[in-house]
Amino acid sequence: MNKPVIVLGAGGHASVLVDMLRSQGIVPLALVAPTASAPRAVFADISLWHDEAKILAYRPHEVELVNGIGSLPGNSLRTELFARYQGLGYRFARVISPQATVSAYAELGEGVQVMAGAIIQAGVRIGANSIINSGAIVEHDCHLAGDNHVAPGAVLSGGVVTGERVHIGTRAAVIQGISIGADAVVGAGATLTRALGVKQIAYVARSSVMPIK
């Protein structure tokens, strides 16, 4: 990244990204968030812009954006902001942790973020604006569409294919060759052994809850 970096968002996801950027010698020009969130040491010395219009003072080719908005089922802000600024001609940087393992034979789309401990194997394709979160594994030949979130510790066995805006929950496991439709959700801890259709959700059965004696 040779241009000044502006981070959209100033919450938890943004803090992880800023930490990763700092570890690569990059200090963002500013964070953009309408309201102040809890103070975080990692944001010290970085300007916080409450007015999104300040981004527009820079022409698209003068800066790079980083999407610091986190991604959870049912929340579309991350996707909307990416589309809005891409539509205005801005470009989103890929952010890849130096502690992640990414095959030279994997293809990562614009703005893809890969957190520490994640492994992405040969033949994988990851669509734009997707997050491969801490410790997640995306095995060989998986093809993920845009705006996907593979949450911390989730495992996609080889050849999994997903549609747009799929969420694979924390520690979920998906066996090989499964297809997952757009806007589907694999709940945290679920094991998916069959295809999931568009806008379907897969849960694990809740385990028994007992009072502690």
Ligand X SMILES: CC(C)(COP(=O)(O)OP(=O)(O)OC[C@H]1O[C@@H](n2cnc3c(N)ncnc32)[C@H](O)[C@@H]1OP(=O)(O)O)[C@@H](O)C(=O)NCCC(=O)NCCS
Question: Of 86 and 170, which CB lies nearer to ligand X in the complex structure?
Answer: 170
C-alpha pair distances (Å), 189 with each of 21, 136, 147, 171, 182: 30, 13, 21, 5, 20
Q: How far is the CB of 42 from ligand X (least distance, A)?
A: 17
Closest by CA to 96, choosing from 79, 110, 78, 77, is: 110
State how far the Cα of 94 lies from the Cα of 107, in Å rounded to an integer: 12
Compose the 169-198 pattern: x for residues touching ligand X by CB under 6 A, - for all others: xx--------------x-xxx---------
Q: Verify binding: residue 105, ligand X, rule CB under 6 A.
A: no
Question: What is the nearest approach in angstroms of ligand X to the Cβ of residue 120?
Answer: 17
Give the residue at shortest CB distance from ligand X: 187
| Ramachandran bin of 117, using left for φ above 0, alpha for ψ from -120 to 50, beta for the remaining angles | left
What CA–CA distance (Å, rounded) separates 116 from 212? Answer: 36
* 73, 117, 159, 181: residue in contact with ligand X (rule CB under 6 A): 73
Q: Is 157 in the site for ligand X (CB under 6 A)?
A: no
Report the nearest approach of ligand X to the CB of residue 144 (Å): 15
Among residues 50, 140, 149, 167, the one annotated as catalytic is 140
Contact, 151 vs 134, CB < 8 A? no
Q: How far is the CB of 197 from ligand X (least distance, A)?
A: 16
From 151, 180, 184, 196, residue interacting with ligand X (rule: CB under 6 A): 151
Classify 126 as helix, strand or coil.
strand
Note if 50 is an active site residue.
Answer: no
Indicate which single residue of 38, 87, 98, 206 sits in contact with ligand X (rule: CB under 6 A): 206
Sheet containing 5-8: order of strands: 47-49, 30-32, 5-8, 64-67
Under the binding rule (CB under 6 A), the answer on residue 29 touching ligand X is no
Q: How many CB atoms lie within 10 A of CB 57?
A: 9
- Catalytic annotation, residues: 140
Which residue ranges make up the site for ligand X (CB under 6 A)?
73, 133, 151-152, 169-170, 185, 187-189, 201, 203-204, 206
